[in-house]
Structure 1
Amino acid sequence: MFLKMKRLFPFFLLAVILASCSEYQKVLKNEDVKAKYDMAEKFYDEGDFKRANRLLEQIAPKYIGRPQGERVMFFLADSYFQTRDYNMAGYQFERFLKSYPKSDKAAEAGFLGAKSYYKLSPKYSLDQTDTDKALIKLQNFINAYPESEFLVEANIMAKELTTKKERKEFEIAKQFNTIGEFDYTFLTPAVTAFDNFIADNPGSVYQEDALYYKFDAATRLAFNSFEYLKKERFNTAKSHYNALKKQFPESNYLKDAIKTLEKIEKELQNYSK
């Protein structure tokens, strides 16, 4: 008996699914707003956000100004988020907050809206317009809801995006330095780019790297300068070494930096005679 039931179970399950689909299609096509609302809520609660979303899209305009409007609008925005349509999720959460700024769901909506833009942030090497937008949204959320249960996660995301932007800026400066190995005219903008990065991002995880590569670029610039510029530029490079050693006395770059410094000191001896 048990074996027979086990064999029939897949067919029973298929019949249930087909019946559910048939009912869904029927409700989707009719004009009964209440039936759509009830089914959308059922699908949402079950985690079937795709089907819930289609129904909610249809009924959301009908509930504007009605008591259930707040609930429908939040469900709609969240169903976009859950189905990874982050552009629409961000937009709909913004609409929700404008319509219901005092809602019990306002903090969650603010967080999920910001997180939607966070999800749209591309890898560091691409245009960071969406990253900038996400940072603004996250900062707005942090300022508006400092006691929120989502605050820790919001700060983590903001830190991650900030580090991503820092990496892009650092890599651009580093690229100037790399090209400078073949074209020395790129070494001056490399030093300037590292200078700007260090000044603009004092707490960056790339601060140590930037200090070392600035020293490296300045040293190569000095070696490849006209004779009358060399002494000054070697001394400048030496000051960059001192800055690296002062801020990061245990730097992983220190061994290589000391070897380079020895070459600088040897060159400077020529100007002390």
Structure 2
Amino acid sequence: MRTFAHCFRFMKKIVYILLSVLLLSSCSDFQKVMKSEDIALKYKTGEELFEAGKYKKANRLFEQIVPKYRGKPQAEKLMFMHSMCFYKLEQYYLSGYRFEQFVSSYPKSEKAEEAAFLAAKSYYEESPIYSKDKEETVKAIEKVQLFVNSYPNSKYLAEANELVKELDFKLEKKAFEIAKQYNHIYDYKASIKSFNNFLLDFPGTSLREDALYYKFNSEYNLAILSIEALKQERIKLALADYNALVKAFPETKYLEEAKKLKEELEKEKINESKS
């Protein structure tokens, strides 16, 4: 058993040594190509690295030779691989820019449609979560929509439409959360105004039920906290919002809470009429 264990450890060391030698040899070969003046060798090596999924190394070579291949037959493929490397490395700002350059330079290329889609998708990938600034999301929607308009029969159309839906929802979610935040910090006038704008801007939103409830909640709080001269008019507005909620969503998840608020409003209305 000791002899077997000793042999196994010995073989394991040999394997590690061989792998290290191969790795060092590979790194050494790559460095030689990097330092070489042979652009054809750099193209060939870069292409091989690209096909092997070694995008970082491939791109280091491509960056050296892209300017030298302008106007040559290999430039089209080189530019596409260069762009794809950025995409695979998740450097989406650069991949979006490079793919757009490719489409502009080679509009009739068989890769033009794919490049246009990946350019649009790069902008989609650059879009931040909904809570961040919406500028990049708006830009991404414009880019994806431009692709859809340019390639209405594209095989990427279904995916592009899904990207637009996701990006639209980010804008919806951001607008909704802003209006809801006003409700949470007791700025009920701002909340009501924001929810009115939200419902106008996103009539088909999946957040409609939530928006109608929080708008009613804000109207309720504004009415209850109002001075006597404004209370009755605001109670009417709040009750109208309650009716809008239960009409649109008879079985709303907010029904129990909404009914309680409605009853309080009606009590306030009765008490005011008695006084």
TM-score, length basis structure 1: 0.93
Q: Deviations over 1:6-45 (max 9, x none)?
A: 6533322222222221111111111111000000000000
Measured against aligned partners, the alpha-carbon deviations of 1:119-166 in whole angstroms (never above 9, x if no partner) come to 211122211211111111111112222222222222222211111111
- The one of 113, 118, 123 equivalent to 1:112 is 118
Matches within 5 A, 1:3-42: 7-42=13-48
Structure 1 residue aligned with 2:233: 232
In the alignment, which residue of structure 1 is the partner of 2:264?
Answer: 263
Inter-partner Cα distance in structure 1 for 2:135 and 2:77 = 32
Cα RMSD (Å): 1.8
Out of 169, 175, 178, the position equivalent to 2:175 is 169
Give the TM-score taking structure 2 as reference length: 0.92
Partner of 1:99: 105
Gaps of 5+ in 2: 1-6
Structure-1 residue corresponding to 2:96? 90
Structure 1 stretches lacking a partner, 5+ long: 181-185
The residue type equivalent to 2:261 in the other structure is: T
SS at match of 1:103: coil
What is the DSSP-based 3-state SS (H/G/I as helix, E as strand, rest coil) of the residue aligned with 2:143? helix
- State whether structure 2 residue 51 is matched by structure 1 residue 50: no
**Aligned-pair distance for 1:272?**
5.0
Deviates more, 1:11-20 or 1:46-55: 11-20
Structure 2: distance between partners of 1:5 and 1:259: 77
Partners of 1:226 and 1:142 in 2: how far apart? 54
Q: Give the % identical residues.
A: 49
Residue 183 of structure 1 corresponds to none
SS in 2 for 1:65: coil
Residues in 1 aligned to 2:37 and 2:8: alpha-carbon distance in whole angstroms: 44
Take 1:66 and 1:241, find their aligned partners in 2: how far apart are those partners? 69
The residue aligned with 2:3 is none
Equivalent positions of 1:114-263 (< 5 A) are 114-180=120-186, 186-263=187-264
Residue 106 of structure 1 and its aligned partner are, at CA, apart by 1.2
Matched residues in 2 for 1:101 and 1:247: separation? 49
